[in-house]
Each structure stands twice: as C-alpha cells, then as structure tokens.
A and B are shown apart, each in its own frame.
Chain A
Amino acid sequence: MLPLKDIRNGLMVAGWFVFLTFPLMVIKVNPVEKTIVWRWPNMLYVAAGSFIAYLYVKLAQKNKKAAILVACWTAYLALPLIRYFMYQDISILIWDTTTSIYAAVGAFHMILTLCLFHKHHILRKILSGIWLLFIGTPVVMLLAQAAGKILLPKIPAALHFLTPFIITIEHIQFWNWIRILWVALACYLLYSSLQTYLASKRNIMPDHLTNEPKIRWSQYLYKRPVYLPLLTFCSTFFLLFPHLFSTYQVNIMISALMYVVLGLGLNIVVGVAGLLDLGYVAFYAVGAYSYALLNMHFDLGFWVVLPIGGILGAFFGILLGIPVLRLRGDYLAIVTLGFGEIIRLVLENWNDFSQGPSGISNIDRPPLPGVDLSLEGSIVYMYYLTIVMVIFTIFVVNRLQDSRIGRAWFALREDEIACQAMGIDKMKTKLTAFALGATWAGMVGVLFAAKTTFVNPASFTFLESAIILCIVVLGGMGSIVGVIISALVLILMPEYLRAFSDYRMLVFGAVLVIMMVFKPRGLISSVRRTYTINDETL
C-alpha cells in the first residue's frame, strides 16, 4: 500500500527531526549543580512521531477519505488506552454514561466510515433523519415507562443483573432512563446507517447523473431538518445545564461561554473585516478594570458598568484604530500586539491606579434585585447572564454580518482597493470594525471581573489573545457556528483532559500552523450568500 519511496523519505524526515530536537529533547542540564540527564527515550518518541506524521501526511495527500478514517478510528481506539494510562481509569469498561457516549461516538464513526466509502449525498439523508430521534425518543421513553410499571414486578429478581436498565438499591428497583436514552440513540443510528447503506446498494445511478449539487460538509448544519432539532437540543441542554451538573462544571461552562463571546467579537475584526488584531485582550482588560475600579471607588453596580465597559472598550478600539488605519495587515498585527502589551504593562506598573500586580479583589457579584443570593445561586445567576450575553451577541453579530456595514467589511477583507473603488469609506469601516469588536471584549471583561470578583494583570497576557485568535481561526474565519463550536471545544477540552493541560498551548500553536497549511478556511467555513441565476428566467 505504501510505496518504498515514502518509507525511505519518512526515515530521512525522522532522522532530521532526531537531529533537530537532539539538544533540547535529549539532554537536560542543571547548570548550578553541574549534572546532565540523558533522556534517550525522547529520541525514540521523536523519531517514531515524525515518521508516522510524515506517512500520514503522504496518505492524506493521496487518499483523503482514508486519512480521515485513520484519524477518527485511531483517536477512538486510543481514548480508553490514554484514559487507562493517565488516570488508571478502567471506567470505560464498565457500563455507564461515559461508556454510552463512547458507544455513541463509535456509532458515529461507523456512519462516517460507511458514508465515506459510499455516495456523498447519503450523509444528508442520515443527518436529515436525526430530527426523528428527537421526536421519537420521548415517545419511546413514555412507552418504556408504561411498560416498566407493568412488567417490572413480573421479572424475577435473579434476572435483573442481566439488564443494565434497572438499578437495584436496597431491594427497590429503578429504571435507568439515561441508559435507555443512549440505547435508543445507538439503535436509531445503527438502523439509519444500515438503511442508508442498503439504499446506496440500490442506487445504481452514478453521482454525476443524480443531478444533485455537491454540498460541502459544513453546509449540512444550515439545512433546516438538521439545525432545527440540533438547536432545540442545544438550547434545552444549555438551559438545564446548571441543574444537571455541579457548580464546578457550571463555572467552567461560564468561562467557556465568555470565550464564545470573545471569539465572536474578535471574529468581527479578524474573520469578517480581515484585520489581524493580536492585542484583543487589551479591551478585555479595559472592561474588567473599568468594573473593578468603578466598583471600588464609586460603588457603581454591575448593570451600570456593563454598558460603560462596552463603551470604554469601543473607545479604546477607536483609539487603537486611528493610528493604525494606514497600516497593512502585518504591521497592524505588531502594533496591536504592542498596544496589548502596553496596556498590560501600565496596569502592572502604575500601582496607584490599578494596585499593580497584586490586582483588585472583592469586586461585587452582579446583584439580583430583591433576592439575596447564596454563592451557588449567584453562580447559577451568572451562568444565565452569560447565556443571555451569548444569545445577544449571536443575534447582533448575525444581523451585523448581513447589514450594509457587514458587507463593507467582507469587501474590505477581500480587496481594499476594489472596496474603495466601490465607494466604501475605508476609514469609517475599519474604525467601526475595531470599535464593535472591542465592545464585546469590554462587556465580557465586566462579566469576567464580576464572575471572579478579582482582577490582576496576569489574566491579560498575550497568550489570552492567542487563544482567542486560535478560536477564530479554528472555527473558520467569519463563521459564527464555527467560532461557537471551536470556543467550546478549545476551552472545555483542556478542562476535561487535565492530564494534558501542560500541552494545551503547544497544541494551540500547532493547531494554528496546521489549520493554515491544510485547511485555511477553518473547520466550519462560513457560507457566503450567493445569488444563482437560473437559465430559464433569463
């Protein structure tokens, strides 16, 4: 399957990387105690890793489908092993929620496999059938509940261990609804994949004769039968989230949702208007510090400062925007980076203003009029505030993109000169992009200060800007859905893979490079409005 030439080149690449990483990966010195540690196994890992990576890239260049499948199945099969080695956790072998999710992902992989080896448009049939699941599941659950009430006493207790659906606690039997749900899901997915597989056998018409336009993967998300049930599911999930999970999880989710808003804000500047802003976190800091300081000195409440934070953010956006108007993309990146660093350094060094590196603590949480909130209650309240913020942002950003300004931004991104020739005021358009992008950062900054009740300059380093940029790039520049998904994935994943949290920034850096080289449009590329002209109407 693999030509000898590729293997030979792979070995050469592996040798090169062994040479390259030799001093840094293998030798570790302690200059004080004058000791050397030779870490030879690292050399082997580098060699094996680069060899496999090279072969994989070669495979991907030749056969994209096979590459996708190899990646999916490797990740899928490696997960239990990683869990085992990292946590000594064998729970994947025991039937519980984790396992069910694992099984569901497995089912998804099977569908993927089937789809990739058969006709492309089948996928749409499967995905468009998912809505059945959301109607079907409650019906199945109701039926099962009724059946359970009648049948349960009749099943001999000795047989209960056979079924994972019944939990016996001190001689009282319960149905385990979650498991039933997962089994229903798995059955449905298996059934639909089988059906589509059979359908593909029957369909003897070749692809190019079926007269169906070729559709990109990501565009399925925008199909009505797909996004409606998905939207229902997501909104229910996010509304019920604080009641389903612990306070700890809710806290993590709040910060992930804040990054969604930050990502959407930066998306205006980078994704839509095409202005690379590396100092976005400065506006975030402006918002956070404006709440912290106004709260400390003038006792202003959350609701008063929220718009002020937004306005201050916009003001600073314009302040930064004016000097850089004339600059091209790469200069702009450096100046914004410098601006972000200036704001951080000033906050760190101007002790009388910002209390320096020790930061400001005891910031008020947002009050709920008439209710005295407990700590947990205020976290839940914070969660819903963030949700409202996210929805508001999505709504506004979505409307903005289709507005006159939004179209001007797209034009600016594509070609500045052509855009000016069309009569768009370049200066005004760029400034609005900066200002509107910064507004969100300012507002999220206020939210952040209210959530943590503590701010210090260490929260606003360049790495934060890089994470937000990574969210936008990974999601697909200019695509709202993509930004939301990638923010959730990039922020939640390191939280749940604690063992790998050291590698987080390494992976972020690698993601930026790999995405640019292999998939510059992002995971879910934005769907541009197009106008098709029908031959018949002409």
Chain B
Amino acid sequence: MVPGIVAFTGKFFPHSFTLLRNVADIMDFFEPDYFIELLFSGLTKGAIYALIALGYTMVYGIIGLINFAHGEIYMIGAFTALIVSTVLSIYGFPLLAIFILAAVAAVVWASAYGYTIERLAYRPLRNAPRLSPLISAIGMSIFLQNYVLLAQTSDFQPFPALVPDFAFMEPVAHIVGSTDLVILVVSVIVMILLTVMIKFTRTGKAMRATAQDKKMALLVGINVDNVISITFITGSALAAIGGLLIASHVGQINFYIGFIAGIKAFTAAVLGGIGSIPGAVLGSFILGLTESFATGYVSSDYEDVFAFSLLVLILIFRPAGLLGKSTIEKV
C-alpha cells in the first residue's frame, strides 16, 4: 500500500517540480518587450472588462440586482455587429463606414434587448424577495444564449477585422497591435462620456438620486421606472461596444462568449466594490493585468481559474471591494 501511495502522489503532483523550473525560466523571459506585451494585453482585457463591468455596477447600484443576462447582451451586441458588418461588406461599403454602422447597430439593438429584458423579467419582480429576480435573470441568460444558438449557429463564427493596421503603429506592431490601441482609446472616451453624463446631466443626477433612495427620488418627482430603464440601456450600450471591440480583436465569436466574459466582468465589479463606478474600472484593470501576467508567467491553462480564485479571495477578505463601502444590514 505504501509504495502505491508514494507513486500516487508523485504521479499527481508533477507540478511541484515544473513550477520550480518555471521560476528559473521567468528570469530568462523577463524581457522588457515581453513584459510590455503582457502589460498591453492586460490593459486591453481590462478595458473590455470595464465596459461590461460598468453595466453590472450601474444596475446593481440602482436596483441591487446582479443582471446575469448582461454578458448575453454583450454577446448579442457582438453578433449584431457581425451580421451588420458582413452584410455591409458584401454590399461593398468602405471599412470605416462598416465600423461605424456596425457599432451603431450593435449599440441600438443591445440597448433594445437590455430595455426589453428589464421590462419583461425584472420590472414585475421589483418588490419580490431578493432571490426571485436573480433566478429570473439566470433564466433570461440561459434563454438568450439558446436563442442565439438556435437563431444563428453553435459554431464559432469568424469576425471580420474592423480595425485596419495603422501605419504609424508599424515599429511597435510586434508588441502592441492597432486593435489594442483602438480598444484602449475608445473605452477611455466612452468612460469619460459616461462620467460626464452621470456627474453633470439631469439624467445622471436622477440616476444617482435613485441609487441613493428610490422612495425619496419618487417624492422629488423623478420617474424611477424611466431612470431604471435608462440605466439598463446605458449599460447595454457599453457592453455592446465592448462586444464589438473584443470580437474584432479576438477574431471569432460564438453564443457562449457572454457567459465567461460576464462572470469575469462581475468579478471585476466586485473587486472594485460593486455599485461604485470608479471601482468597476479599477477592478477591471486589476483583473485584466492579473490574468495577463498570470497566464504569461505561470500557465495559460488556468486563466479562468485565476479570475474565479481572485473573486473568492476578495469576497472572503474584503466583501465590500476595494472602493466600496461596507453596509451594515439593519432591521
């Protein structure tokens, strides 16, 4: 029995030796180029996560619901962009026009889906126990995945490269691609616009008021239902932009991409403190960088495991997140 157990452990834990070897290897490939490549891929990932995580965090901030179907909105945005861009490219539109029209279509339809989902699955449950809208959201997520699967296809679809290779990026193309740059620039612009909207417009004020106290917001004449709808629409539009950008970056999509992306974006939102908008952005970049460096220096098989473990660790040690405020439940 004893030799059997020794052989058993040796067989099951070869990683203990390979890990040591990896440490030596890291010294070798700790080159600046590789490091910068990982850094940029992490920032790109973080930017995409941020676009999705903002939707989660805004919805959570206002109605305290984890919108499970949010990842699916992102997937639908990517699919709409795929369909529109393919149709337009068949009709011979120029690349820039395709990019803009595909982005507009993705945003319009994703927002329409976000609005409809809110009306059908969440609004009737506004006053139900906490578990009910959550289960409803999970059902919606499963429904939308299978709807796209049946209406389109279960295979991976190649996504056309909507971003051309810029000439001025040529010297650094082996480290940072043009798509990475576009993703970073677009998402930063979008985030600034969102901040401006929330800070300075009437709608943004109404949103913040609703998030603070729904009843009080009603009393001062804010149409809470409308504000919630607008939140869903904004969040969905952001997710659609994320979907479009990541799809043209990765080059293929299928109906299941929303699930993992949704969970990771949620992880990012929790990491930064759910309900807090700067927190979501910070959390997303931390998560993107962690994932990128962990896959680059440790092992690429466990990319998703790192994200989930990070989530579990945060929730154990700091359930309120980095920038969130911990609240005490009172009777």
- Given known pairs A331-B315, A506-B143, A517-B136, the reply for A23 and B305 (CB within 8 Å) is no
B130 contacts which chain A residues (CB < 8 A)? 328-330
Closest beta carbon of chain A to B223's beta carbon, Å: 20
B309 contacts which chain A residues (CB < 8 A)? 342
A341 contacts which chain B residues (CB < 8 A)? 263, 304, 308
- Given known pairs A23-B80, A512-B138, A517-B125, the reply for A345 and B304 (CB within 8 Å) is yes
Name the interface residues of A305-336: CB closer than 8 Å to any CB of B. Answer: 323-324, 326-331, 333-335
Contact yes or no, B82 A511, CB < 8 A: no
Contact yes or no, B147 A342, CB < 8 A: no
Contact yes or no, B315 A327, CB < 8 A: yes
- A512–B69 CA distance with the chains assembled, in angstroms: 13
B128 contacts which chain A residues (CB < 8 A)? 516, 520
Name the interface residues of A19-34: CB closer than 8 Å to any CB of B. Answer: 19-21, 23-25, 27-32, 34
Closest beta carbon of chain A to B179's beta carbon, Å: 17
Name the interface residues of B145-182: CB closer than 8 Å to any CB of A. Answer: 145-148, 150-153, 157-160
Contact yes or no, B83 A278, CB < 8 A: no
> Is B285 located at the chain interface by the 8 A CB criterion?
no
Q: Which residue of A lies closest to B12 (CB)?
A: A353
Contact yes or no, B89 A466, CB < 8 A: no
- Given known pairs A466-B138, A509-B139, the reply for A330 and B312 (CB within 8 Å) is no
- A273–B83 CA distance with the chains assembled, in angstroms: 45
Interface centre among B135, B152, B302, by most A CB within 10 Å?
B135
Pick the contact of A345: B90, B116, B302 (CB < 8 A). B302
- A330–B89 CA distance with the chains assembled, in angstroms: 43
Closest beta carbon of chain B to A270's beta carbon, Å: 8
B86-110 CB mask vs A (1 if < 8 Å, else 0) is 1101100000000000000100010
A470 contacts which chain B residues (CB < 8 A)? 139
Pick the contact of A276: B116, B134, B157 (CB < 8 A). B134
Contact yes or no, B125 A516, CB < 8 A: yes
A37-60 CB mask vs B (1 if < 8 Å, else 0) is 000001000000000000000000
Name the interface residues of B51-97: CB closer than 8 Å to any CB of A. Answer: 64-66, 76, 79-80, 82-84, 86-87, 89-90
Contact yes or no, B83 A346, CB < 8 A: no
Contact yes or no, A334 B311, CB < 8 A: yes
> Is B131 located at the chain interface by the 8 A CB criterion?
yes
Contact yes or no, A466 B142, CB < 8 A: yes
> Is A36 located at the chain interface by the 8 A CB criterion?
yes
Contact yes or no, B134 A32, CB < 8 A: no
> Is A85 located at the chain interface by the 8 A CB criterion?
no
- Given known pairs A331-B315, A469-B135, the reply for A509 and B146 (CB within 8 Å) is yes
Give how many B residues have a beta carbon under 8 Å from the other chain's beta carbons.
73
> Is B246 located at the chain interface by the 8 A CB criterion?
no
A202-215 CB mask vs B (1 if < 8 Å, else 0) is 00000000000000
Q: Which residue of A lies closest to B13 (CB)?
A: A352
Contact yes or no, A324 B315, CB < 8 A: yes
Closest beta carbon of chain B to A510's beta carbon, Å: 5
Contact yes or no, A20 B312, CB < 8 A: no
- A338–B263 CA distance with the chains assembled, in angstroms: 8
A274 contacts which chain B residues (CB < 8 A)? 131
Contact yes or no, B139 A338, CB < 8 A: no
Pick the contact of B139: A345, A513, A520 (CB < 8 A). A513
- Given known pairs A24-B79, A510-B143, A511-B139, the reply for A16 and B116 (CB within 8 Å) is yes
- A341–B308 CA distance with the chains assembled, in angstroms: 8
Residues of B within 8 A of A (CB): 4, 8, 11-14, 64-66, 76, 79-80, 82-84, 86-87, 89-90, 105, 109, 112-113, 116, 120-121, 124-125, 128, 130-136, 138-148, 150-153, 157-160, 259, 263, 266-267, 270, 301-302, 304-305, 308-309, 311-312, 315-316, 319, 329, 331
8 CB-based A-B contacts, threshold 8 Å: A24-B148, A28-B152, A326-B319, A333-B66, A352-B14, A469-B138, A512-B142, A516-B132
Residues of A within 8 A of B (CB): 16, 19-21, 23-25, 27-32, 34-36, 42, 274, 276, 278, 297-298, 323-324, 326-331, 333-335, 337-339, 341-342, 345-346, 349, 352-353, 417-418, 462-463, 466, 469-470, 473, 502-503, 505-506, 508-513, 516-517, 520
Q: A326-B319, A505-B142, A509-B145 are in contact. List 18 more A-B contacts (CB 8 A).
A: A20-B116, A24-B76, A24-B151, A29-B86, A297-B8, A324-B315, A329-B134, A330-B64, A335-B312, A341-B263, A346-B305, A463-B142, A469-B138, A506-B142, A509-B144, A512-B140, A513-B121, A513-B139
